[in-house]
């Protein structure tokens, strides 16, 4: 149950302490003995200075060896640490290797080295008869492989969808060369040790090269070789043949299948005594596939594609980039500029959203400062006095004009209502009659007259005071 395993793993707490050797070996042995694999190996990682609870490790590791399980040890520390001898003894009894390192970053290197060493040690050393199966015709059509005996191979099992090319003829019936399809790719499993006894077999080169060629997707035979080189957006296909193939080969042609399904045919010409070549222009992005037809046979070539990014390809018209830029500017309502400084000049107005937080914050700070300064300096009172004085000055400037205008209008009104005879009689009466018949003075004019009378009386009193 993956969910239960993850839950238990996440509940582990780091409580400190050392490495419990016996518990670790016992748990590893319990799991590995239940495995179905034939080759079984335990790699123990421990602290060379803090390995605790070894228990009866000698008998436990000895039982592992009897069951076909080997044990290696990787110690974090040096060989001079207090528990280094314990780790060496475990590896010795388990018929494995022991490694020491003080750099934790090198642990993966030791794990890999031990896995490689153990894998090489797992090669079967006893020679076994090898049977060439019918699946070998798929790897190498028309081959002349024969049965042989060889040692130095890994004991493997057949995958459900795998085809067997070579297999042992014994009780194991173990495959030594198998292959299968993996989606659009190919996979081959080679169980022989290429540095061991198999390298001395006469069919070593033929079997190994045929397997590699099948994985690459090429059905070429003998010493024929096809390779592709690139020069810009041109692909040059070269084909090298042996002297015997050259004598039997007539005219050769190259057929390329473009990504859009078209076919390009090019002749192959001799560049040297044993080499033909042809050049094709790659005008499209994607994968090109092709074959070479020569001597009545068809040879597939590796897939071909542009060696550069599409934007750097040299197979476009000269104005391709300009047209793309014009199209981009048109879609985004842009324009062509000749000077970088014109880039920041806007001919159209645009709506800009401005935050109002800053003005309101400034207003709030000003009002807060006025509230603090009012009790101390009386700012509002000073402003009130200034406004009153300004308003009073304006009123004094306006009042004389109003009084004169009122007096003038009264005189005009009086003049229009009196007759010429009455006017002569008023002139005869003198000042008394004129003052009696004069129109009433406006309140503003009377106020000024009172002020003048008060000033005159004050002046007379000051003049009448006796001199001391």
Assigned token pair, 377:
């300096």
What pLDDT does 364 receive? 92
What pLDDT does 416 receive? 45
Check: CB of residue 149 under 8 Å from CB of residue 177: no
Domain boundaries along the sequence of the chain: 2-121, 128-216, 225-310, 394-459
Check: CB of residue 234 under 8 Å from CB of residue 242: no
For every one of its 468 residues, what pLDDT tens digit does the chain have, with 9 covering 90 and above? 888 888 888 888 766 666 788 889 989 998 988 887 777 889 898 888 888 788 888 899 999 888 888 999 988 888 888 888 988 999 999 888 888 988 888 888 888 888 877 766 667 778 899 999 988 888 887 777 899 999 888 878 888 888 999 999 988 788 999 999 887 788 999 988 888 888 888 888 889 888 888 887 765 554 577 888 888 788 999 988 877 777 777 788 999 998 888 889 999 999 888 889 999 988 887 889 888 888 778 888 888 887 766 566 555 667 777 888 888 888 888 878 888 777 777 666 666 677 888 889 999 998 888 888 877 777 777 777 787 777 765 555 555 544 444 444 444 444 444 444 455 455 545 544 444 444 455 555 556 667 677 777 777 777 665 554
Check: CB of residue 333 under 8 Å from CB of residue 253: no
Instruction: List the one residue out of 189, 210, 187 whose CA is nearest residue 136.
Output: 210
The CATH fold of domain 128-216:
Rossmann fold (3.40.50)
Q: For the domain bounded by 225-310, which CATH number is listed?
A: 2.60.40.10
What pLDDT does 398 receive? 53
Cβ neighbours for 355, distance < 8 A, ≥ 6 positions apart: none
Taking each helix axis as running N to C, give the angle between helix 357-377 and helix 379-417, from 0 to 180 degrees, rounded to the nearest 10.
Answer: 90
What pLDDT does 314 receive? 57
What pLDDT does 464 receive? 64
Say yes or no: do domains 128-216 and 225-310 share a fold: no
In whole angstroms, what is the distance from residue 26 CA to residue 44 CA? 11
Distances from the Cα of 181 to the Cα of 184, 214, 322, angstroms: 7, 11, 47
The CATH fold of domain 2-121:
Rossmann fold (3.40.50)
Prediction pTM value: 0.37
- Estimate the share of the chain in helix, then strand, then coil, as percent rounded to the nearest 5: 45, 25, 35
What pLDDT does 120 receive? 62
What pLDDT does 363 receive? 92
What pLDDT does 412 receive? 42
Instruction: List the one residue out of 4, 5, 99 whose CA is nearest residue 44.
Output: 99
Upper half-sphere CA count for residue 200 (Cβ side, 13 Å): 6
What pLDDT does 164 receive? 92
Buried b or exposed e, range 405-414, using 16+ CB within 10 angstroms: ebbeeeeeee
- In eight-state DSSP terms, residue 467 is P
């Amino acid at each position: 149950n993956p969910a239960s395993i993850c839950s238990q793993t996440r509940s582990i707490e780091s409580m400190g302490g050392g490495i419990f050797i016996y518990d670790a070996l016992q748990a590893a042995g319990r799991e590995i003995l239940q495995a179905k694999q034939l080759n079984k190996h335990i790699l123990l990682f421990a602290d060379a200075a803090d390995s605790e609870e070894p228990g009866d490790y000698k008998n436990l590791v000895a039982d592992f060896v009897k069951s076909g399980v080997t044990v290696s040890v990787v110690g974090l520390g040096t060989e001079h640490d207090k528990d280094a001898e314990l780790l060496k003894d475990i590896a010795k009894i388990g018929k494995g290797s022991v490694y020491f390192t003080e750099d934790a970053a090198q642990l993966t290197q030791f794990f890999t080295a031990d896995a490689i060493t153990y894998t090489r040690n797992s090669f079967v050393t006893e020679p076994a008869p090898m049977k060439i199966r019918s699946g070998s015709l798929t790897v190498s059509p028309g081959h002349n492989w024969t049965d042989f005996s060889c040692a130095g191979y890994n004991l493997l099992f057949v995958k459900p969808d795998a085809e067997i090319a070579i297999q042992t003829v014994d009780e194991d019936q173990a495959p030594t060369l198998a292959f299968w399809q993996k989606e659009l790719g190919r996979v081959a499993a080679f169980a022989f040790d290429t540095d061991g006894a198999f390298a001395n077999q006469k069919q070593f080169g033929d079997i190994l090269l045929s397997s590699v060629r099948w994985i690459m997707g090429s059905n070429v035979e003998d010493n024929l070789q096809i390779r592709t080189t690139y020069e810009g957006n041109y692909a040059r296909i070269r084909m090298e043949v042996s002297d015997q193939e050259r004598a039997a080969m007539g005219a050769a042609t190259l057929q390329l299948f473009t990504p859009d399904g078209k076919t390009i045919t090019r002749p192959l010409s001799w560049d040297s005594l044993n080499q033909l070549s042809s050049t094709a222009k790659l005008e499209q992005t994607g994968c090109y596939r092709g074959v070479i037809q020569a001597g009545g046979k068809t040879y597939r070539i590796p897939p071909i594609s542009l060696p550069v990014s599409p934007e750097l390809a040299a197979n476009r018209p000269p104005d391709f980039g300009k047209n793309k830029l014009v199209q981009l500017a048109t879609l985004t309502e842009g324009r062509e500029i000749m000077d970088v400084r014109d880039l920041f000049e806007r001919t159209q107005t645009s709506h800009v959203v401005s935050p109002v937080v800053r003005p309101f914050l400034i207003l709030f700070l000003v009002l807060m400062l006025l509230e603090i300064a009012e009790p101390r300096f009386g700012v509002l009172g000073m402003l009130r006095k200034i406004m009153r004085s300004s308003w009073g000055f304006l009123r004094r400037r306006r009042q004389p004009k109003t009084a004169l205008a009122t007096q003038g209008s009264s005189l005009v009104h009086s003049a229009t209502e009196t007759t010429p005879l009455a006017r002569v009689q008023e002139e005869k009466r003198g000042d008394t009659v004129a003052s009696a018949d004069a129109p009433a003075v406006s309140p503003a004019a009377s106020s000024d007259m009172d002020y003048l009378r008060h000033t005159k009386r004050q002046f007379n009193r000051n003049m009448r005071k006796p001199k001391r």
